[in-house]
């Protein structure tokens, strides 16, 4: 009874958040309190203790550091240089948009920030160059998603945090997270290439030309920010890679044990402030507080679900009714359907990741395959106009007519194409592993 109540609460929180435009996390916190304290007899302190403090700290610390690159214009300048470099090769423009979005997101800007900045530029380029809006939308959306999945960027960090909370060792979580990043870069490149080389819009783009003004060089603050960002990414990546390459080395084992991306990002934030690369108040204001509340609030409700046995019950049902070979595909389909209306970071992965280890152990599957299938499926339909990514792209259209034309393309072409590509990838992944 309690398990069904928790599932209903998750659904209601998502629906209420979507309909009222109030942060889903706030509804989730309220439901966690009501169900935990009055339905399960938990103490208020126990419910408060379900707030995912480690995930909150890591996301806050990393986003604070990367906020300096946002407020001082480093990311914007990098995007300008990348797009300018494509001016003589217009058929490569979708790849330039994809790479620019991926790079900016990979440097920590996060999915929503990249879309808010890159989507208006992309749609403007579509008007000037003849690139179809659906191709531009796919390139910028996929690029923002894939880049943000990098192991040291916002989504990648969230995925690792959710995995470790679900019981995955830190070293394995790093590998699984990197596999997610690679997978969500491969699928978009296949889809974009299919559009560029086999569609009418792609053939028309090859004959197009466009003018782009020479971007100004990076200033002192932007160069310093770029070097700090590259240094932090190198440190975060080097420790686990060296430990995996030399597992018997006590030195690398000790260094890797002392590495924590949240603490490293905090250290680099102090360096950024001492080097005066940006304003502290503006950087603090640029932290995605709404995303933090959503992820941690839903995390509290998921913790209540785990305490009530809901996750184990769902895992047992899947294990008893679905053949092992179909489990990754089923996870991808469920994630894709949820992502049509809800956030991958705030709802889909917090709800599905805790089910992976029990099902993988019960059915003899590789947990990595399930983690990848969930994210690939979820992000395949994130371009739906009802989802956050699609709605941001629609909002970037300059005219009502443009929005009216783009809406059915996102819903009836982009989302289905992404869904089919993701499911084919999940099938291949299942047989490969």
* Structure confidence by residue, pLDDT tens digits, 329-341: 999 988 888 777 6
Q: Other C-beta atoms within 10 Å of 331: how many? A: 27
The four Cα atoms 136, 140, 146, 152 give a dihedral, to 10 degrees, of 160
Q: Is residue 167 part of a domain?
A: yes
Domain count, the chain: 1
Neighbours of 272 (CB within 10 A): 26
Residue 272: inside a domain, yes or no? yes
The pLDDT tens digits of the residues spanning 224-278 come to 998 998 888 788 778 777 877 787 888 888 888 888 878 988 999 999 999 999 8
SS3 category, 95: helix
Residue 89: inside a domain, yes or no? yes
Cα separation of 361 and 355, whole Å?
A: 10
Residue 382 sits at φ, ψ, to 5 deg, of: -70, -10
Q: Is 174 contained in some domain?
A: yes
Q: Which residue has the tokens 């709802």?
A: 347
Token output for 129: 């160059």
The separation between CA 168 and the C-alpha centre of its own chain, rounded to angstroms, equals 19
| Residue range of the domain that includes 63 | 51-208+260-276
Q: How far is CA 278 from CA 185, 206, 275, 331, 340, in A?
A: 31, 41, 9, 43, 37
**Is the pTM here over 0.75, yes or no?**
yes
d(CA 119, CA 62): 23
pLDDT band per the 50, 70, 90 thresholds, residue 22: confident
Separation of alpha carbons 351 and 360, rounded Å: 16
Domain contains 83:
yes
CA distance 402 to 380: 23
Tokens of 404: 């009216």
Answer yes or no: is 16 within a domain.
Answer: no
Residue 409 lies in a domain: no
Position 140 in a domain? yes
């Amino acid at each position: 009874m309690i398990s069904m109540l928790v599932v209903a609460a998750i659904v209601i929180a998502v629906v209420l958040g979507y309909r009222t435009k109030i942060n889903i996390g706030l509804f989730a916190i309220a439901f966690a309190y009501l169900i935990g304290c009055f339905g399960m007899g938990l103490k208020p302190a126990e419910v408060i203790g379900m707030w995912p403090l480690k995930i909150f700290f890591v996301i806050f610390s990393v986003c604070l550091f990367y906020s300096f690159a946002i407020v001082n214009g480093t990311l914007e300048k990098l995007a300008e240089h990348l797009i300018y470099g494509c001016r003589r090769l217009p058929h490569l423009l979708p790849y330039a948009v994809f790479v620019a979005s991926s790079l900016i997101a990979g440097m920590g800007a996060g999915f929503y920030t990249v879309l808010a900045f890159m989507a208006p530029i992309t749609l403007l380029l579509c008007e000037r160059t003849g690139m179809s809006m659906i191709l531009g939308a796919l390139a910028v959306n996929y690029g923002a998603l894939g880049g943000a999945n990098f192991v040291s960027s916002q989504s990648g960090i969230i995925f690792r945090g959710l995995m470790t909370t679900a019981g995955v060792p830190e070293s394995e979580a790093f590998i699984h997270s990197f596999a997610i990043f690679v997978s969500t870069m491969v699928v978009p490149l296949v889809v974009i290439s299919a559009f560029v080389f086999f569609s009418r819009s792609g053939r028309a783009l090859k004959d197009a030309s466009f003018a782009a003004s020479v971007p100004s060089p990076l200033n002192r603050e932007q160069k310093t920010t770029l070097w700090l960002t590259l240094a932090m990414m190198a440190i975060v990546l080097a420790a686990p890679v060296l430990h995996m390459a030399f597992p018997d080395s006590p030195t690398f084992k000790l260094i890797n044990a002392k590495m924590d991306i949240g603490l490293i990002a905090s250290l680099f934030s102090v360096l950024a402030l001492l080097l005066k690369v940006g304003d502290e108040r503006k950087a603090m204001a640029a932290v995605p507080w709404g995303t933090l509340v959503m992820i941690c609030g839903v995390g509290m409700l998921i913790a209540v679900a785990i305490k009530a046995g809901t996750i184990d019950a769902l895992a047992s049902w899947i294990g008893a009714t679905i053949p092992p070979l179909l489990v990754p595909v089923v996870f991808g389909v469920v994630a894709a359907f949820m992502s049509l209306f809800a956030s991958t970071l705030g709802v889909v992965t917090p709800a599905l990741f805790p089910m992976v280890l029990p099902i993988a152990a019960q059915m003899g599957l590789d947990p990595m395959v399930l983690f990848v299938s969930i994210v690939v499926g979820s992000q395949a339909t994130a371009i739906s106009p009802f989802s956050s990514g699609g709605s941001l792209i629609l909002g970037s259209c300059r005219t009502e007519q443009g929005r009216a034309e783009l809406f059915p393309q996102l819903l009836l072409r982009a989302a289905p194409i992404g869904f089919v590509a993701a499911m084919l990838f999940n099938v291949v992944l299942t047989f490969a592993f």
